[in-house]
Structure 1
Amino acid sequence: MTHIFYEFSSLKPGVPDVETLMEVINSSELTSFVIGPEVVDFVKKALIVNTTIISFKNCRFAFDDGAHFIEFDSKGKSKRSNEVPDWFVSPAEFARTQWMINHDLADVKATQFIEVLMSYPLKERRAHCNLLFGLDLHKVNAAPAPVSPAGKIGNKNGKTTKPRVTDLGSFELFSQFFERMKTAVLADEFPTLQVLTGIDNLSKAPHNLKQGIRTWFKAIAGDLPPNNKRVEAGNAVLFCAPIREHIQQVEAIGLENYYQGLSKAIAEAGDGFITDFSYTYSEE
């Protein structure tokens, strides 16, 4: 069974020490945890001695907030990479999904959840709240730092498949997208790409429509539309909470004014990646 471990500096580790690490690895379940400094140091030192470690078979490690990765196959042979694998998720996405499950916070009442966060030291509390709620509310968006400029593993032709920044050049389409997003968020429902496009079967949706909507959503929410993993993990309330604030700010600016500025920013971004794109409205 596969075990995934992340070194996310802003999140409380679910696997703080080597003893816990080995307990998780020896379990028969598919697991995903944040690891503490002791574990990071242990794994890195173990790799200096030997690149094949039977105890780590079927384990995957993401170090330094996603700067580089190590995967162990079924025999414990390791493979290093700086390319972003498909199993990697951002610290913010992990915080809102699996991290809450690991710490038994996914189904607690809001008051109890807040009590837990308030028990953390101030610096840790701020870091966790920033990831969980996207608290950069002085901006229209709060774009997470890109984890790597590289494409995903398995791309054999040397060209990245990461989504590119796209503008559909239509205020009418933008208005429709914004209304769908607002309706879903205010109802505490995940604003998935199906919801945002209004097309249930995404295979039939035009490629540029999906890219354009991803770009618009990233500009407003500071994140990509939730994928199936995030939806299956639940916590739509937590995901939607910070987006409400961003929606209010866009409406205060004026939808048409915001879109005009956004279109200009998209044009200036050229052929950039959506994951790296961010936009903050400013009056000229």
Structure 2
Amino acid sequence: MSLTTTGELVARASSTRAAVGAFNVITLEHIEAVIAGAETVNTPVVLQVSENTVEFRYGRLLPLARAAVAAAERSTVPVALHLDHVVSDRLLRQAPDAGFSSVMYDASHLPYGENLACTRAAADWAHAQGLWIEAELGEVGGKHGRPPLDAHAPGARTDPRQARAFVADSGVDALAVAVGSVHAMTTRTATLDHTLLRNLSGTLSVPLVLHGSSGVPDDQLTAAVAGGIAKVNVGTALNVAMTAAIREFLAARPDAVDSRKYLGVGREAMARTVAGIIRVLAPGGDKKAQDPGEETPRAATS
């Protein structure tokens, strides 16, 4: 199947009360693992490249982006490319030519008025380029090693009334909400505020996105999808799976030097993780993967 768009996948998921899995990739092995996992369960998927990953790759977006496009075009399931947590306007403007259909513009660290102004400008530019744009309101902790805010601290949770005004005034296509998840968690112990999530879902007319989902247990993810989350971002869980598999491989084979061997087991571990998470987000996905333009039956949410 050919490369598709994030907007189409999120709209389809939202209409069926499911969620599309969006996985952050760092290496070619990540890209291959995410697609392999999605193919295992015959379900569309989003490949995400974050600004932090671009910085890791010597500040160059195109090498990883070109690899992702090539892999997506050869996938048996629909795959979209999303540029994640973009702070730099320079990087934002590279998205269309690099094959991305969507961006998450992150001005959430700024005061509300500045966040709104910057996001509005980014949304206007993105829409002129045909890009779908996501923003964040409230603070999902854990980025750059920062701890999460206390649940009662200002900005720690997304306020429904403020969110409604923000979406209307910014013109974004989706909103990442702060409901208790935390970036970079290596244990699945997060507890979400499902009452707040239902309020946000009932208040807003755009799809909702859950960041920091690696630390959210399966039952919490299932409830989040039932409560209105249509896109679930996962990154750290892949790195945990890859690192554990490579450590085990090298501990058993201390003389191993062929990187294909240990990268291979790391890739397989990530693919299993991807398939497992997608099964939680889109129950019944082990069927023919439909193109986003095809009519899709209503998915189960339990």
What is the TM-score normalised by the length of structure 2? 0.25
Q: Which has the higher strand share?
A: 2
Greater Rg, structure 1 or structure 2? Answer: 1
What is the TM-score normalised by the length of structure 1? 0.26
